[in-house]
Structure 1
Amino acid sequence: MPHANRGNDAMSAPSGQHIADHNCRLFVLFRVLFNSRFYYPVLAVLFLDLGLTATQYTLLNFVWALVIVLAEVPSGVLADRLGRRPLVLAAAVFMVAEMLVLAAAPQNGGLVLFLFCLLNRVLSGLAEAMASGADESLAFDALADEGREHEWPQVLARVMQWKAIGMVVAMLIGSAVYDPSLLSDLAASAGLALTFDQATTLRFPIYLNLLTALGVLIVCLRMQEPAHRTGAAIPTTRQAVESMLDAGRWIARSPIALFVIIGGLLIDSVLRVFMTFGSAYYRMIDLPEASFGIIGATMAGIGIVVAPMARRLVTTGSMLRNYGALAALAVLGLAGVALGIPLWGVLFALPLSAAMAAVGFAVSHYLNAAVDSRRRATVLSFKGLAFNLGYGFVSLLFALALRAYRDTGSMGDGLAGALTLLPLWLVFTVLVMALLFRRHRAQLLQRN
C-alpha cells in the first residue's frame, strides 16, 4: 500500500516512491532551522558583551571563514564518495557542539573566553562546510532518481519562503530576548517580580539556538540516502584528491558551470560586502539604532516575495538574460546606496536583498541541473569555496578603500566613499565576464 509507512516509527525509511518527497520536506526544514540563528541581529555585540575585544572578534571571524575555505571541497568529496547523509549529520552534530561551547563560555574570562569562542567559530565553520552541497544534493538526487528534476525550482521556492519566515522570527525574537530592559518591562507588565541584566540575557539567544540545533539533528536523523548511494566506503586520500581534481576539471571544461559560478559570485560578493556593513550604512543615513532589527527582519522577509518571482525567472527565461537582470538590479541598488540619501536611502537596500536571494536561487537551479549525481556535492562545494573566496577578495578591496577614504576624512566619509566603488566594481567585472563568455552567448541564451 502506498501509505503503509506513515504509521511506522519516524526513523524508519520511507518507501522508494516517497523518499524524494520525504527528503525535500526535511531539506526545507533543515535549511530553515540551520540558518535561522537567533543571535544574528546581535552577533557582534554578543561577543563584545561576553568580554572580547573588537580585534579578537575580527580574528575569530577570519578563523571561521578560513575553516570553511579549507573544509569546503574535502567535505563535498566525502559527500560524493561516502554519502550525503553522513555529512549533514556531521553538520548537525557540529552545530549542537558549537552552541554548547558558546553557552558555556565564561563572561570576561580573558584567555579562557577567547579559547571557548575560538572553538565555537571552528565548530561553526565545520558545520557550514559539512552542510554545504550535501544537504541540497540529498534532496536533488532523490528527485532525480524518480525523474522529477523539474520540481527543483518549486523546492527552492519553498526553501526561500520558509527560510525568510524563519529569519524574520529569529531576528525579532533574538533582538527582543537580548534586551534586558524589554524583558524586565514585560515581566512587570505580567505581574512578575523579575528583573534582568545584560549578563543574563546575552545567553538567551544562544539557548534558543541550541534548541534549533537539536531540531536540526532530529531532522538529519530522519533524512534518507537514495537507494543507489547507500553502502559506499570511506575514500582513500588518493581517491579524495582524484575526486576533487575530476570535479575541478569538469567545471573548467563546462562553460555553463563556469558562467553560473563566476557570474553568481561576482554579484553575490559585492552584495554580501554591503550587507556586512549594513548597520554602519543605516547609521550613516541617520536611521535610529532601534530600527535596525526591524530593517533586518524586513530584509529577511523579502524572500517570501522573491521566491515565486525567482522560480518564474529560472523556468521561463534564459540564463544570460536572468543573470543580466539580476546584475542590473544589483547595480541600481548599489548606485542608490552610494548616494547616501538620509533616511530614505534604506529603500535602496531592499532590491539588494532581493537580488542576493534570487542569485542564490538561480545558482542552485542551474548548477544542479548541469552536474551529474556522482560529482554533485563536490561541485557544489567548489561553488561554496569560490563564493567565499570572492567575498574575501571584495572585502579586502573594500577595506583598502575604507582606509584610503578615511585617511582624508571621518569614518562616515570613508564608508560613503567606499560605497561609491561597489557599483563601479560590479559593472567592471560584469563587462569583463561578458567579454570572456561572448563565444558561448548562444548557449547561454537558451531557455532552461
Structure 2
Amino acid sequence: MSAPPGQHIADQNCRLFVLFRVLFNSRFYYPVLAVLFLDLGLTATQYTLLNFVWALVIVLAEVPSGVLADRIGRRPLVLAAALCMVAEMLVLAAAPQNGGLLLFLFCLLNRVLSGLAEAMASGADESLAFDALADEGREREWPQVLAQLMQWRAVGMVVAMLVGSAVYDPSLLNALAASAGLAFALDQATTLRFPIYLNLLTALGVLIVCLRMQEPARRSGGAIPTTRQAVESMLDAGRWIARNPLALFVIIGGLLIDSVLRVFMTFGSAYYRMIDLPEASFGIIGATMAGIGIVVAPMARRLVTAGSMLRTYGALAALALLGLVGVALGIPHWGVLFALPLSAAMAAVGFAVSHYLNAAVDSRHRATVLSFKGLAFNLGYGFVSLLFALALRAYRDTGSAGDGVAGALTLLPVWLVFTALIMALIFWRHRAHLLQRN
C-alpha cells in the first residue's frame, strides 16, 4: 500500500511505528497476568515454567529474526509478529479453564507465540521507521519520533492497566451493572477472559497497522538466507559491535542500568507491601509509573540531543542511583516516591539507546544489531535477576520474607556503582569520543 498523496513514506512509517508499539505493548492482561493464569487453573510451578519458556524463545529467536529482517525485509517480520500476536490471543481465549494437561498445552503454545512475536518485532519495526527517515535524509528527526512514542506508549499503558484490572474484577463490574439498572451477575470464570478479548481487538489493530507499513525502496526484500548466510550475517553484526567502542558503550551501559531497574520493577509489589502500602493502591501506582513517560519524553529528547553520550549516561545512572538508594532505605509509605525516578530512568534509557545505536549502525545490519541489543538486555536482566534471587535466599535464611526483600534491595545500588566503575575503567581511553556532543 502506497503512502497517501502529499505524505512521505517516512511520515507514514513513523506514525504507524508509534501506533504499532503502543498497541503491541499496551496489553490489558498485564496488571493481572499472574492471577489470570492461576485462575485459569495452572499451578504456580507451571506458571513459572511458562515464563521460562517465553524468555527462552525470545533469547533463541531474537538475533535470527534480526538477520531475517535484514535479508528479506523488515515488513515481513513485523507482519509475522502481528500474526503471532493475533494467534497467541486466540489460543489464550480458547484455553479450557481447569483443563489440566490440555490447559497447560494451550498456555504453552500461547507463551511460545508470544515470545516469537516479541523477538520478530524487536529491531524490525524500529528499522522500518528509521530507514524510511534515512532514505529522505531526515535521521535527525528520530528523537522526535521516540518522544512521541514514549508519550503515547505511556498513555496506552495507563489505559491498559486501569481498564484491564477493572474488567477482571467481577464485583466492580456487577456494581457498575447494578448502578446502571442492569439485572445480571458476572463471576470470575467469565470476567477473567475480558482482558484477553480486549487484547485480541488490539492484536487485530496491530495487524491492520502492519499491513499499511511500507518497505523503503532501497530495502526491498531478497531471498530467504541459507543457514550459512544467516550465521555469516550474525557474525558480521557481532564483529561490528565488538570493534565499535561507541556501540559497545551504548549497549553495555544501557543494559547495566536497565537490568537493575527491571529487577526492581519485577519485585515492585513486594517493595510496596514492605513499605506498608495497601494492595488496593498497587494498580494506581502502576498506572502512575506507566504514565510518567508523558513527562519524561521531552526531557529525554533534550538530554540526548543537547549533550554528549557520556553526559547522558551519567545523568541516567545518577537518576537510577538516587531511586535505588531511596528504595533501599525502605521508608514506610513515602518510599513510593523513589520509584518515580526509577521509572523515569528506565524510560529514558530505552530512548537513549535507540537514538545512539540507530545513528551509529548502517542500514544493512540495523535490525540484526538492534536484535543483538535486545538479546544483551535480556541476558543482562536474567543475570541480575539470578544475583537478586541468590541475595533473597541468603537474607531469608536469616529472617523473614520481608527481610529478604529489604536486604536484597540494598544490593541493587551497590551493584550499579560497581558496574559503573568497571565501565569507566574499560572505556576510559575512549572518553574523548564519548564526550563529543551529538
Q: Shorter-chain-normalised TM-score: which range?
A: over 0.9
Q: Which residue number corresponds to residue 144 of structure 1?
A: 134
Q: CA deviation at 1:15?
A: 6.5
Secondary structure at the residue paired with 1:430?
helix
Q: CA deviation at 1:283?
A: 0.9
**Alpha-carbon distance in 2 for matches of 1:53, 1:395:** 22
**What is the 5 A alignment of 1:5-404?**
11-14=1-4, 18-404=8-394
**Alpha-carbon distance in 2 for matches of 1:434, 1:44:** 39
> Residues 217-266 of structure 1, C-alpha deviation per residue, up to 9 Å, x if partnerless?
00000000001111411111111111000000000000010000000000
> Residues 296-335 of structure 1, C-alpha deviation per residue, up to 9 Å, x if partnerless?
1000000000000000000001000110110011011011
Runs of at least 4 residues off by over 6 Å:
none
Contact 1:285 1:341 in 2 (8 A): yes
When structure 1 is superposed on structure 2, of 43-52 and 207-216 the one drifting more is: 43-52
Contact 2:275 2:331 in 1 (8 A): yes
Contact 2:78 2:125 in 1 (8 A): yes
Contact 1:252 1:258 in 2 (8 A): yes
Q: Which residue number corresponds to residue 434 of structure 1?
A: 424
Count of residue pairs brought into register by the alignment: 438
**Alpha-carbon distance in 1 for matches of 2:152, 2:260:** 25
- RMSD over aligned CA atoms reads 0.9
Contact 2:3 2:12 in 1 (8 A): no
> Residues 344-396 of structure 1, C-alpha deviation per residue, up to 9 Å, x if partnerless?
11100000000000000000000000000000000000000000000000000
Gaps of 5+ in 2: none
Secondary structure at the residue paired with 1:400?
helix
Q: CA deviation at 1:189?
A: 0.3
Task: Indicate how the Cα distance of structure 1 residues 418 and 387 shifts in structure 2: closer, same or farther if over 3 A, else same.
Answer: same
When structure 1 is superposed on structure 2, of 274-283 and 11-20 the one drifting more is: 11-20
Secondary structure at the residue paired with 2:7?
helix
**Alpha-carbon distance in 2 for matches of 1:48, 1:423:** 33
Q: CA deviation at 1:17?
A: 6.4
Contact 1:17 1:146 in 2 (8 A): no
Secondary structure at the residue paired with 1:17?
coil
Contact 1:79 1:86 in 2 (8 A): yes
**Alpha-carbon distance in 2 for matches of 1:301, 1:157:** 13
Secondary structure at the residue paired with 2:351?
helix
> Residues 10-45 of structure 1, C-alpha deviation per residue, up to 9 Å, x if partnerless?
x44456961000000000000000000001111111
Q: CA deviation at 1:83?
A: 0.2
Q: CA deviation at 1:278?
A: 0.6
Percentage identity across paired residues of the two chains? 92
> Residues 104-147 of structure 1, C-alpha deviation per residue, up to 9 Å, x if partnerless?
11111111111111111100000000000000100000000000
**Normalization by structure 2: what TM-score?**
0.99
Contact 1:161 1:304 in 2 (8 A): yes
Secondary structure at the residue paired with 2:292?
helix
**Alpha-carbon distance in 2 for matches of 1:124, 1:331:** 33
**Alpha-carbon distance in 1 for matches of 2:427, 2:14:** 34
Contact 2:71 2:221 in 1 (8 A): no
**Alpha-carbon distance in 2 for matches of 1:409, 1:112:** 40
Secondary structure at the residue paired with 2:331?
coil
Task: Indicate how the Cα distance of structure 1 residues 223 and 46 shifts in structure 2: closer, same or farther if over 3 A, else same.
Answer: same
**Alpha-carbon distance in 2 for matches of 1:141, 1:287:** 46
**Alpha-carbon distance in 2 for matches of 1:82, 1:434:** 39
**Alpha-carbon distance in 2 for matches of 1:426, 1:161:** 27
**Normalization by structure 1: what TM-score?**
0.97
**Alpha-carbon distance in 2 for matches of 1:231, 1:214:** 25
Task: Indicate how the Cα distance of structure 1 residues 176 and 17 shifts in structure 2: closer, same or farther if over 3 A, else same.
Answer: closer
When structure 1 is superposed on structure 2, of 356-365 and 225-234 the one drifting more is: 225-234
Contact 1:267 1:330 in 2 (8 A): yes
**Alpha-carbon distance in 2 for matches of 1:110, 1:293:** 30
Q: CA deviation at 1:196?
A: 1.1
Task: Indicate how the Cα distance of structure 1 residues 16 and 232 shifts in structure 2: closer, same or farther if over 3 A, else same.
Answer: farther
**Alpha-carbon distance in 1 for matches of 2:220, 2:4:** 14
Gaps of 5+ in 1: 1-10
**Alpha-carbon distance in 2 for matches of 1:32, 1:94:** 17
Secondary structure at the residue paired with 2:225?
coil
